[in-house]
Amino acid sequence: MSGKVAYINARVIDPASRIDHAASPSGGVLTDGTKIMAMGPDIFNGGRPDDAEIVDCGGAVLAPGLVDMRVDFCEPGAEHKEDIDSGSHAAAAGGVTAVVTLPDTDPPIDDVSVLEFVARRARDVKLVKVFAYATITRGGNSDELVEMGLLRQAGAIAFTDGRRSVVNAKTLARALKYALAFDALIVQHAEEPNLSSGGVMQSGELSTRLGLPGIPREAETIMLNRDIALVRMTGGRYHAAHVSTAEGVACIRAAKAEGLRVTCDTAPPYFALNELAVGEYRTFAKLSPPLRTEDDRQAVVAGLADGTIDCIASDHFPQDQESKRLPFELAEFGSSGLESLLALTLELVHNGHLSLPEALAKVTSAPSALLKLPTGRLAAGTSADLVIFDPDRPTRIEPDSFTSKSKNSPFDGRLVQGQVIRTVVDGRTIYLRDA
């Protein structure tokens, strides 16, 4: 167990309690073992504890560790792409202290035994906190609901069929209604599969010019409109993952205005890139949902700014090199996102769309509150899960240097501002950037 650690000269930001204290030698955060003992702008006015290790943050930001509500660690079943160990190291390097991993593994997390396997592996690795979704349907691709009560009791955070939509309206309605008994959240990849089938990028002028089959934005909005109607019918809790279109943002906005229990997230590719990143068949930019138009990108930014979009997730979907270095139509969807999550979220700050506390809320307190996780905030008595970062330090996204097994990113070579200095979980430093 760690001893006392005094973090001084840090700008302390906690979005959950709206704390934003300027850096000073007399203020900061004091941790003792696994917990935060005290925090504030003047807690060291009477002197620092003699028995505490002193960490001088040099004016950097100290905030709750990031909470990434959508990652794929590929274990069990595809450990050559990522596993809980490599994914946890990648998360730590990105300032992420807690993740929620998708259930579309092999076998899928539709049974308590698989859920317990993931939890056991995370305990063995002992880096970031790994939570898990369970599937909505048996196998993640059927019309038979899983035993939600048993899975919830065993630790399932919420329910989703991962990167597959629940296509059968009756099945989703039953799931929304059944989940109410456990106050459980249903998370949906909102995409009408018959419209998107065979498509590899956003449908439009660019896909036509490149000769690639397109995925129309209506694939997202048709499914969202149907799902919202089912929420209206059942009263269930519904969350739309990686919203990517202007119409999709408008659907969520209208549902919230109606008072429905509807939330959503997006990912950095949908507020920081558009379809032009595909370039000349650049497979690193082949994502699901696909990169959209510039109008869509701007609508996603607006949705983040006005609160329509609740959270930002990395949508970390790692692929090995052999799966991406193929002709565009044959390459797999997905990219590595954990290690670039913070810097890309900070673009919203540097471009004037969000304040720093508002941006941090999207990746800390908001996902924690939504999923009812014991993370994502700084307060006396809570777990000492922290990230220290320089929000202005210029750097370049270089996937070849990623800790993740996956070296694929649509942001390859992008200049950004913001670098993680230290990541702490339960008082233990699990990542420290080389000087």
Percentage, residues of the chain above pLDDT 90:
97
E strand spans, 259-299: 262-266
| Per-residue pLDDT at 265 exceeds 80 | yes
Nearest to 386 by CA among 356, 366, 360: 360
Q: What is the pTM of this model?
A: 0.96
Q: Rounded to 5 degrees, what are φ and ψ at 255? A: -65, -40
> What confidence tier does 21 reach under pLDDT thresholds 50, 70, 90?
very high
Given its phi and psi angles, is residue 40 left (phi above 0), alpha (psi -120 to 50 degrees) or beta? left
Candidate list 110, 111, 161, 315, residue with the active-site label: 315
Rounded to an integer, what distance in angstroms lies between the CA atom of residue 45 and that of residue 1? 27
Given its phi and psi angles, is residue 41 left (phi above 0), alpha (psi -120 to 50 degrees) or beta? alpha
The amino acid present at 338, given as its one-letter code, is L
Mark out the alpha helices in 279-384 (DSSP H runs): 294-305, 321-324, 341-350, 356-362, 365-371
- Residue 1: the pLDDT is 40
Nearest to 65 by CA among 409, 435, 417, 420: 420
pLDDT in tens, 280-305: 999 999 999 999 999 999 999 999 99
Give Cα 121 to chain centroid, integer Å: 20
| Per-residue pLDDT at 2 exceeds 60 | no
Q: 55, 6 in Cβ contact below 8 A?
A: yes
Q: How far is CA 33 from CA 30, 425, 429, in A?
A: 10, 11, 12
289 secondary structure, DSSP code: S
Across the chain, what does the average pLDDT equal? Answer: 96
pLDDT in tens, 55-112: 999 999 999 999 999 999 999 999 999 999 999 999 999 999 999 999 999 999 999 9
pLDDT in tens, 293-340: 999 999 999 999 999 999 999 999 999 999 999 999 999 999 999 999
- Residue 435: the pLDDT is 62
pLDDT in tens, 134-143: 999 999 999 9
H or E segment and range at residue 424: strand 415-425
Q: 87, 121 in Cβ contact below 8 A?
A: no
Q: 31, 22 in Cβ contact below 8 A?
A: no
Cβ-based neighbours of 296, under 8 Å, separated by 6 or more: 217, 244, 245, 246, 270, 274
List, in order of start, the domains of the chain with CATH numbers: 4-62+383-432 (2.30.40.10), 65-371 (3.20.20.140)
Task: Examine the residue annotation and report whether 315 is marked as an active-site residue of this protein.
Answer: yes
3-state secondary structure of 160: strand
- Residue 46: the pLDDT is 81
Q: How far is CA 310 from CA 49, 83, 207, 241, in A?
A: 39, 28, 30, 11
Nearest to 363 by CA among 161, 91, 72, 29: 91
Rounded to an integer, what distance in angstroms lies between the CA atom of residue 275 and that of residue 297? 9
